[in-house]
Chains A and B, each alone.
Chain A
């Protein structure tokens, strides 16, 4: 399964590798120095601390997770103490904080400080409580040369009303963003590739939020119910000239999501638009076959805007492995990081070779994966505008700046929503960041650039 893509026949592996290394070093050199962002480096220190002590990290994740449900600062500090109490070897500073909780004023102070800390962290990842609220940040990013995709955070959809409300919020976001975007200054490399115009407004939606009927054993039911809400959104995006990207979540919703999106986009009313996209998760063993299916669909479906495929590693690894183990199934994901990284590069090549049948987004914080995509695209004759690189707001900011410095097309995935409902998202992002095999952790841990760029 792992081997050179078909275009690899034209690009000698040694030449590609040399170019990957060259680009990787150049990007690493572009990373801003921590001194420019004192606050950000403070956050990173906190993340490093928790990464060193898994149990302390677990306590802090649980705290972040429960914060929205705490009724008072007293309640919050009580939860904090209960979690820290379960950490066997506490650093002295943590013990001191716990002693503070012995008195009512101390508890209050501790709870307030904790709430402020969690809020501060949340602000790093969540760009606004509403699309209107987020416009300032989104406009600022655009001016700097970074495009965005807005993701509306919210509680899980378990009722029909909640699905309707999420769809209404998506509709409103498309409208709000589309009103503002025309005032943004021209950024040629963000809004045009060799196929044509790339919409400024880009909204990512989640199918599990569009229906309470997601049933892994009955994909048709969720697909039909979600279609009733996604179809109007596609129309709206088409009429506004916005891009709509449908996120991929866990394997339980994969079939529903894939069939829903490809089915709707093939309908005649969407032949002229909107620009729309799907996600390919490289950690899935089945991802090469899924990509072939997307390409086959693209070949046989006449649409004005090519299907956009966002390649990601996938953010539900723990969930997939635990669920599979609990049921006695073989996990649908690669369990070895090297296998996953190699597959990511293989899929990157296959996607870039398939241009202009599809538009390619590579969403990764792994410097090696990003450099590989840029190098392969250039060696294959693609312009830099034909490859969109994506990062997560809050986690990939430095990479985004490094890419922007080279005028590469980069888009930040920007969660929008209230901090309360965004906590689940935040925790998942934090977990990903501090996972043992995390690239970002290695980078901040001072791993030399040669190692970071090593062939998987």
Chain B
């Protein structure tokens, strides 16, 4: 069986768009959703944490239980207990459960996309793509789970039999962000389960609804309740999970600050903890796009605009800096600014919307702060615009002529602000890229095979995109993840990711007995 990406909706078809509108109407009637704390199949608290529609902060999308340290401890207890039942199952059986969960999500695609529109203000095409990616992760790691049954063969000398096996680590804590509210939790959870771990999923406080759908699908598909718990809550419950000595593995996607804190905490081995915690972390980026003088700007401009402002720049893969050759810098800035001015800022449910509101007030204030600073120290190339009244909107902005020490050029902004700088050569651009502590995505626009080869060789980013946008990695096609301070571990949705969720053991048996080889192996 081979992997095939779940096809996204062909939204240029009006009938499919109408279908989504109907899903949203149906969802709105059910709001707010009740999201329980789910420990070992027991429903716990269902209140304490409210999440709102970023486009209409007065609308409550979900009321979730607010798990704390006590719930974290109980969930770890349950997961430790549920581990045996789950890990005993063969890779094939675990694969079947993940595939069945994917099938459940497939049946709820429209509804789950609608949920993202409300929960995270994710516009339709991206909400639909996120649901598809979640399905992809489940199917892709299901194939991986089945493959773990057949580890690579070892060298066999006469008189011995060597076997490799991949075992789960044990209890896995999955700490997920809101910006890909279904896909990222699904990816980390599915990988941990595929390898036979039991999982405690702590969703972002902004998007507990999508995670509940995932957990329900997995339980419905036969993952034992004790092997998968859901702990909606805030940072404290995540911190409690990370510190719990019975947790073996932490899979995290989120900010660099939290990620590094997790790495530090995970290094502790208090008395009674007989293991070092494995951390798999995907953190932030400061993603640069190099535009060489021979770039086709007709292609580059829309691709950069899409990379920088899609989902209002709230993707760790989003383009944040453009390093453009001086020969075409003026033209590029003019066209980028014009194309950005033409973007439609609006509510996520509008099919025409290019730039939705940011996730919350704090995010809006942070991005506005960077923009104001850029306006003071450099030049804003885009025109000012009216913003919709309700919602945490921040205008898509192109800034240029910033001083080299500007914070907007160094820090991850995670919002719709794109900085453009002029360089004299590709070498200068590469030196700037190399000076950054991050290495997640990078982009290049060039039509010279020599330049493409040189940049591919030099750029430290986990994902380099040539002559296309820097976002939209597809499972199995563009395994995704960064280097340097952008992340630890192999790329998600790629051939190596699953192995990180396992421990390898080798059994070597002497097959000689009194000079006779008793087993020639197979």
The 8 Å CB contact of A159, one of B124, B335, B447, is: B335
Q: Given that A212-B342, A213-B342 are contacting pairs, would A158 and B17 also be in contact in the complex, using a CB cutoff of 8 Å? A: no
B338 interface contact, C-beta 8 A: yes
A220 interface contact, C-beta 8 A: yes
| Closest chain B CB from A231 CB (angstroms) | 20
Neighbouring B residues of A86 by C-beta, 8 Å = 449
Cα distance A220–B352 in the bound complex, in angstroms:
8
Neighbouring A residues of B352 by C-beta, 8 Å = 213, 215, 217-218, 220-221
Q: Given that A70-B294, A82-B450, A217-B17 are contacting pairs, would A158 and B11 also be in contact in the complex, using a CB cutoff of 8 Å? A: no
Q: Is the CB of A79 within 8 A of B294?
A: yes
The interface stretch among B41-49, B260-268, B276-284, B297-305 is: B297-305
**Interface set of A (CB-CB < 8 Å, partner B):** 62, 65-66, 69-71, 75, 78-79, 82-83, 85-86, 155-156, 158-162, 212-213, 215-221, 251-252, 254-255, 327-329, 424
Cα distance A252–B302 in the bound complex, in angstroms:
15
Q: Is the CB of A155 within 8 A of B298?
A: yes
Cα distance A159–B298 in the bound complex, in angstroms:
11
Neighbouring B residues of A218 by C-beta, 8 Å = 350-352
Residue of A nearest to B300 (CB): A158
Residue of B nearest to A69 (CB): B294
B341 interface contact, C-beta 8 A: yes
Neighbouring A residues of B6 by C-beta, 8 Å = 328
Q: Given that A212-B342, A218-B350 are contacting pairs, would A69 and B295 also be in contact in the complex, using a CB cutoff of 8 Å? A: yes
Neighbouring A residues of B7 by C-beta, 8 Å = 327-329
B407 interface contact, C-beta 8 A: no
Cα distance A156–B300 in the bound complex, in angstroms:
11
Could you tell me which residues of chain B, from 3 to 24, have a CB within 8 Å of some CB in chain A?
Answer: 4-8, 10-12, 14, 17
B147 interface contact, C-beta 8 A: no
Q: Is the CB of B293 within 8 A of A158?
A: no
Neighbouring B residues of A79 by C-beta, 8 Å = 294, 447-448
Q: Is the CB of A424 within 8 A of B449?
A: no
Q: Is the CB of B447 within 8 A of A255?
A: no
Q: Is the CB of A213 within 8 A of B294?
A: no
Knowing that A69-B447, A217-B17, A327-B7 touch, tell me 18 more A-B residue pairs with CB under 8 angstroms.
Answer: A65-B296, A66-B447, A86-B449, A155-B298, A158-B301, A158-B302, A158-B338, A158-B339, A160-B342, A212-B338, A213-B352, A217-B351, A218-B351, A221-B344, A221-B352, A254-B12, A328-B7, A329-B10
Cα distance A217–B5 in the bound complex, in angstroms:
21
Cα distance A156–B335 in the bound complex, in angstroms:
11
Q: Given that A85-B449, A215-B351, A327-B7 are contacting pairs, would A424 and B294 also be in contact in the complex, using a CB cutoff of 8 Å? A: no
Neighbouring B residues of A75 by C-beta, 8 Å = 293-294
B84 interface contact, C-beta 8 A: no
Cα distance A160–B341 in the bound complex, in angstroms:
8
| Closest chain A CB from B339 CB (angstroms) | 4
Q: Is the CB of A66 within 8 A of B350?
A: no
| Closest chain A CB from B382 CB (angstroms) | 11
Q: Is the CB of B449 within 8 A of A159?
A: no
Cα distance A37–B341 in the bound complex, in angstroms:
50
The 8 Å CB contact of A252, one of B12, B294, B350, B449, is: B12
Q: Given that A75-B294, A215-B352, A327-B7 are contacting pairs, would A255 and B341 also be in contact in the complex, using a CB cutoff of 8 Å? A: no
Neighbouring B residues of A219 by C-beta, 8 Å = 12, 14
Q: Is the CB of B294 within 8 A of A212?
A: no
Cα distance A159–B449 in the bound complex, in angstroms:
29
Q: Is the interface of B mostly helix, strand, loop or mixed?
A: loop
Most buried by A among B125, B293, B449: B449
Q: Is the CB of A82 within 8 A of B12?
A: no
Q: Is the CB of B301 within 8 A of A217?
A: no
The 8 Å CB contact of B447, one of A62, A155, A251, is: A62
Q: Top 7 nearest A-B pairs by Cβ distance?
A: A159-B338, A328-B7, A218-B352, A216-B12, A217-B11, A156-B298, A218-B351
B327 interface contact, C-beta 8 A: yes
A to B CB contacts below 8 Å, 11 in the list: A66-B296, A66-B447, A69-B295, A82-B450, A156-B298, A158-B298, A159-B338, A159-B342, A162-B335, A213-B344, A218-B350
The 8 Å CB contact of B5, one of A159, A160, A328, is: A328
Q: Is the CB of A424 within 8 A of B298?
A: yes
Neighbouring A residues of B450 by C-beta, 8 Å = 78, 82
Could you tell me which residues of chain B, from 102 to 123, have a CB within 8 Å of some CB in chain A?
Answer: none
Q: Is the CB of B341 within 8 A of A71?
A: no
Q: Is the CB of B294 within 8 A of A255?
A: no
Q: Is the CB of A217 within 8 A of B447?
A: no
Cα distance A221–B346 in the bound complex, in angstroms:
13
Residue of A nearest to B452 (CB): A82
Neighbouring A residues of B341 by C-beta, 8 Å = 159-160
| Closest chain A CB from B348 CB (angstroms) | 13
Q: Is the CB of A217 within 8 A of B449?
A: no
Q: Is the CB of A328 within 8 A of B338?
A: no
Residue of A nearest to B352 (CB): A218
Q: Given that A216-B11, A217-B125, A255-B12 are contacting pairs, would A65 and B342 also be in contact in the complex, using a CB cutoff of 8 Å? A: no
Neighbouring A residues of B296 by C-beta, 8 Å = 65-66, 69
Residue of B nearest to A159 (CB): B338
Residue of B nearest to A253 (CB): B12
| Closest chain A CB from B235 CB (angstroms) | 36
| Closest chain A CB from B397 CB (angstroms) | 15
| Closest chain A CB from B13 CB (angstroms) | 9
Cα distance A213–B302 in the bound complex, in angstroms:
11
Q: Given that A66-B447, A327-B7, A328-B5 are contacting pairs, would A217 and B12 also be in contact in the complex, using a CB cutoff of 8 Å? A: yes
| Closest chain A CB from B68 CB (angstroms) | 42
Residue of A nearest to B128 (CB): A217
The 8 Å CB contact of B338, one of A70, A82, A160, A215, is: A160
Neighbouring B residues of A82 by C-beta, 8 Å = 448-450
| Closest chain A CB from B459 CB (angstroms) | 19
Cα distance A149–B6 in the bound complex, in angstroms:
44
Residue of A nearest to B299 (CB): A156
Could you tell me which residues of chain B, from 249 to 281, have a CB within 8 Å of some CB in chain A?
Answer: none
Residue of B nearest to A421 (CB): B298
Cα distance A171–B447 in the bound complex, in angstroms:
34
Neighbouring A residues of B294 by C-beta, 8 Å = 66, 69-71, 75, 79
Neighbouring B residues of A216 by C-beta, 8 Å = 11-12
Neighbouring A residues of B302 by C-beta, 8 Å = 156, 158
Neighbouring B residues of A251 by C-beta, 8 Å = 12
Cα distance A159–B341 in the bound complex, in angstroms:
8
Neighbouring B residues of A217 by C-beta, 8 Å = 11-12, 17, 124-125, 351-352
Q: Is the CB of B10 within 8 A of A327?
A: yes
Most buried by B among A215, A217, A220, A327: A217
Cα distance A160–B17 in the bound complex, in angstroms:
27
Neighbouring A residues of B11 by C-beta, 8 Å = 216-217
Cα distance A70–B301 in the bound complex, in angstroms:
18
Cα distance A219–B14 in the bound complex, in angstroms:
9
Q: Given that A66-B447, A79-B447 are contacting pairs, would A162 and B12 also be in contact in the complex, using a CB cutoff of 8 Å? A: no
Cα distance A217–B16 in the bound complex, in angstroms:
10
Cα distance A69–B302 in the bound complex, in angstroms:
18
Neighbouring A residues of B448 by C-beta, 8 Å = 66, 78-79, 82
Q: Is the CB of A327 within 8 A of B8?
A: yes
Neighbouring B residues of A161 by C-beta, 8 Å = 338
| Closest chain B CB from A318 CB (angstroms) | 15
| Closest chain A CB from B122 CB (angstroms) | 14
Cα distance A82–B271 in the bound complex, in angstroms:
62
Neighbouring A residues of B293 by C-beta, 8 Å = 69, 71, 75
Cα distance A212–B337 in the bound complex, in angstroms:
13
Residue of A nearest to B477 (CB): A326
| Closest chain A CB from B243 CB (angstroms) | 43
Q: Is the CB of A159 within 8 A of B339?
A: yes
Could you tell me which residues of chain B, from 48 to 103, have a CB within 8 Å of some CB in chain A?
Answer: none
Q: Given that A213-B342, A217-B124 are contacting pairs, would A158 and B295 also be in contact in the complex, using a CB cutoff of 8 Å? A: no
Most buried by B among A69, A254, A327: A69
Q: Given that A85-B449, A86-B449, A328-B5 are contacting pairs, would A155 and B297 also be in contact in the complex, using a CB cutoff of 8 Å? A: yes
Cα distance A335–B10 in the bound complex, in angstroms:
19
Residue of B nearest to A83 (CB): B449
